A and B are shown apart, each in its own frame.
Chain A
Amino acid sequence: MSESAYNFAYLDEQTKRMIRRAILKGLAIPGYQVPFASREMPMPYGWGTGGVQVSAAVLTPEDTFKVIDQGADDTTNAVSIRTFFERTADVETTTETSAASVIQTRHRIPEEPLTEDQILVYQVPIPEPLRFLEPRESETRKMHSLEEYGLMHVKLYEDISRHGHIATSYAYPVKVEGRYVMDPSPIPKFDNPKLGQMAAVQLFGAGREQRIYALPPYTDVVSLDFDDHPFEASKADQVCGLCGAEDSYLDEVIIDDQGGRLFCCSDTDYCTSRRAAGHQGPAFPGSEVAA
């Protein structure tokens, strides 16, 4: 079948309506996981099918679309998803965060603050924050409806008593509007503070697990913690070797056989635009690479 034989953004209109209904319900009950009849997509489950279906349901021909994976536009799966929508929806694509109206992401929130005109779509592998405490879906749904989150607090407390810290560094659970405990998808906990009071609409799609959830603009989102062990967003204690940014999440890259390291922004657009504006990091010739 040629690509033109498929509907705009691949899914048929009925399916998109079904997904939009789930999205609206999700926006109406922030943090609540809405079951939806996820379709088989032409990419594997676990590779962003939930995000792809949500994007397909919200994209219009006028949109400008950006896809990032690990913060980068040029990782292979981001390339693959972007190409998919270029082929099936013929939307304009961009790598520039501020130029995009819809951004699909895996594992990161862009560094640049988003605006009210933007939608951020997260790919979610395991939407259930309680899953690794209780494997049964029938049980976890009950726990959410009864607001029974004691198990989660016990888990966090056990972390502290054993390690002195909460030993969760990504997919760090949050509470939404004082009600639902939510999995923010496997973003590093560095990104957690950006979830709350965000101007953009945040949509979360889990294809294999058939769940959609959402955060409307300016929603209260609090990372779970204790008064005497407050939540702490953490990142490598370095600056970006390329652009010198001190406030961005950093990847650690091994650059030689001796184990030399370079720290650089995981958000490639942020790094590129900073360098275009003349910022330089310590990894440039004449400066020292962090070891």
Chain B
Amino acid sequence: MYVAVKGGERAIENAHAWLAEERRGDTKVAELTIEQIREQLSLSVHRVMAEGSLYDPDLAALAIKQSRGDLIEAIFLIRAYRTTLPRFGSSKPIDTGVMDCDRRISATFKDLPGGQILGPTFDYTHRLLDFKLAADGEVAEAPSRDVEPADVPHVTEFLNQEGLIEEAPHDDTMPPDLTREPLEMPADRALRLQALTRSDEGFTLGMAYSTQRGYGRNHAFVGELRIGSVPVEMEILELGFSIEIGEITLTECETVNQFTGSKTEPPQFTRGYGLVFGQTERKAISMALVDRALRWEELGEDSAGAPAQDAEFVLYHADNIQATGFLEHIKLPHYVDFQSELELVRKLRREAGAHQVQEAAE
């Protein structure tokens, strides 16, 4: 006699044990340490922090180790941990103008105050596999020199002096919080940026790329891309003043976009903005392009009906934790629904068959 499948509990336990064994791999090979991941896979760590919305390199490294290097799974671990954390308050807005830049480039000006700093980039590496690295990963120390710390002005400010770029007036309105309130449409720019900074890198890249290929084209120049560390300050109520509570590494991208003017706005350059945790420049540039594409309405442009211009489309589908969960849930049993569909299809086929027989007889 058939007995309905039992033992889900034991199957789950055993699957977990097997998973742990697979994660560890061949025990003759040394186990990865959190420090190794944090130091040597730092760009993975940065992506996990950015999309996990939690700045903690050690936890991100742990998540990468636990998830066997599956970064979306690692991001999921970080998100689930993040929601359990109490919220003490919010920091003061960070000032990227005082960033200690590792990298700072402008594609719109050959040279500019503060200089162009290439920094640790893959940009001009030839993508040739380095077989030497397989045997020996030692590197010589990179040349360095002392520099005077100085503020690095934003490129867009130079354009602003001539009135050539749209104003981005200072605004002290408390932005909405995506993690504490449900996402509702229409979403203002602060909320859109918040969603984009934690959005999936691949999705955001694809959306940005689509604007470059003509689906809502907005002619972006990288006005400036900067990567470096900035201090985070928080006002402590008991003290009555703000103190620096730490430093975080950020990537900021400001695009300058051509704009021939609309019914409401004069011809001028417009802005797209990307700001992401860590050294994550592909994501920051993508974010800036998508941000600009989503701004068509407030700039009085006509919508080209492109996917990247559709805030509902972009924002509701950009989160990889939501997307992967829903996508993968179709692995769960659906036999009750499937059974009802079976009944329906059988019924429809029966009737269609009877109909054909009747027609043949006529």
Q: Which of A's residues lie within 8 Å of B, judged by CB? A: 1, 6, 10, 12, 35-42, 44-47, 49, 69-72, 74-80, 83, 106-108, 125, 136-138, 163-165, 167, 169-171, 186-190, 208, 210-211, 234-236, 241-242, 249-253, 255, 262, 264, 266, 268, 283-285
Complex CA–CA separation, A41 to B12 (angstroms): 19
A187 to B179, CA, bound (A): 30
Q: Knowing that A47-B325, A264-B4 are A-B contacts, what are 15 other residue pairs whose CB atoms are under 8 Å apart, sorted by A's residue number?
A: A12-B84, A41-B83, A45-B325, A45-B326, A49-B325, A74-B4, A79-B8, A83-B9, A107-B336, A165-B344, A188-B336, A188-B339, A189-B340, A208-B322, A234-B344
| Contact of B333 with A285 in the complex, beta carbons under 8 Å | no
**Closest beta carbon of chain A to B4's beta carbon, Å:** 6
- List 29 contacting pairs A-B, 8 Å CB cutoff, sorted by A: A1-B84, A36-B182, A39-B83, A40-B83, A40-B321, A42-B80, A45-B325, A46-B325, A46-B327, A46-B328, A47-B332, A69-B332, A70-B334, A70-B335, A71-B336, A74-B4, A74-B5, A76-B333, A83-B9, A138-B312, A165-B347, A167-B344, A169-B343, A210-B183, A211-B182, A235-B343, A242-B1, A266-B339, A283-B2
Shortest Cβ gap from B207 to chain A (Å): 17
Closest to B52 in A: A40
Known: A37-B181, A210-B183. A266 touches B79 (CB 8 A): no
Smallest CB–CB gap between B229 and chain A, Å? 27
Q: What 1/0 flags go to B305-327 for Cβ under 8 Å of A?
A: 00000001000100001101111
Asked whether B138 is an interface residue with its Cβ less than 8 Å from the other chain, the reply is: no
Which of A138, A165, A189, A210 is the one whose CB lies under 8 Å from B348?
A165
Say yes or no: B182 contacts A208, CB within 8 Å: no
- Write the nearest CB–CB distance from A239 to chain B, whole angstroms: 15
Shortest CB-to-CB span from B295 to chain A, Å, is 18
User: What are the 5 tightest A-B residue pairs by CB atom distance, in nearest-first order?
Assistant: A45-B325, A46-B329, A44-B325, A169-B340, A46-B326
A235 to B339, CA, bound (A): 9
Is B351's beta carbon under 8 Å from chain A? yes
Q: A164, B2: Cβ atoms under 8 Å?
A: no
CA gap between A112 and B335 in the complex, in Å: 20
Q: Are B340 and A252 in contact, with the CB atoms below 8 A?
A: no
Most buried by A among B7, B181, B328, B332: B332
Q: Bound state CA distance, A250 and B338, in angstroms? A: 11
Contact A234 B180 (CB under 8 A): no
B307 CB to closest chain A CB, in angstroms? 12
Taking a contact as CB atoms under 8 Å apart, the answer to whether B4 and A170 are in contact is no
A188 to chain B, nearest CB (A): 4
Q: Would A78 and B8 count as touching, CB distance under 8 A?
A: yes
Are A163 and B348 closer than 8 Å at their CB atoms?
yes
Cα A83 to Cα B10 in complex, Å, equals 12
Closest Cβ of chain B to A143, distance in Å, is 14
In the complex, the answer to whether A253 meets B332 with C-beta atoms within 8 Å is no
Tell me whether A137 and B316 are in contact in the complex, defined as CB-CB below 8 angstroms, given that A37-B182, A251-B339 are known contacts: yes
Beyond A164-B351, A169-B340, A251-B339, is A125–B333 a contact (Cβ under 8 Å)?
A: no
B328's partner among A38, A42, A44, A268 (CB-CB below 8 A) is A44
Chain B positions 207 through 222: 1 when the CB is less than 8 Å from some CB of chain A, otherwise 0 = 0000000000000000
CB distance from B338 to the nearest CB of A (A): 9
B55 on interface, CB distance cutoff 8 Å: no
Give, as a whole number of angstroms, the nearest-CB distance from B294 to chain A. 14
Q: What separation, in Å, do the CA atoms of A168 and B352 have in the docked complex?
A: 17
Closest A residue by C-beta to B15: A76
Question: Looking across the interface, which residue of chain B has its beta carbon closest to that of A188?
Answer: B340
Contacts of B312 in A (CB 8 A): 136-138
A281 and chain B: residue at smallest CB distance: B1
Q: How many angstroms between the C-alpha atoms of A25 and B76 in the bound complex?
A: 30
Contact of A137 among B180, B185, B325 (CB under 8 A): B185
Task: Return chain B residues, CB-CB under 8 Å to A40.
Answer: 76, 79-80, 82-83, 321
Task: Tell me, in angstroms, the Cα distance from A171 to B82 when the chains sit together.
Answer: 34
Inter-chain contact A80/B182, CB cutoff 8 Å: no
Known: A40-B321, A72-B4, A74-B4. A35 touches B184 (CB 8 A): yes
Of A44, A76, A189, A253, the residue contacting B329 (CB under 8 A) is A44
Complex CA gap A81/B5 in Å reads 18
Interface contact A80-B12, CB-CB below 8 Å = yes
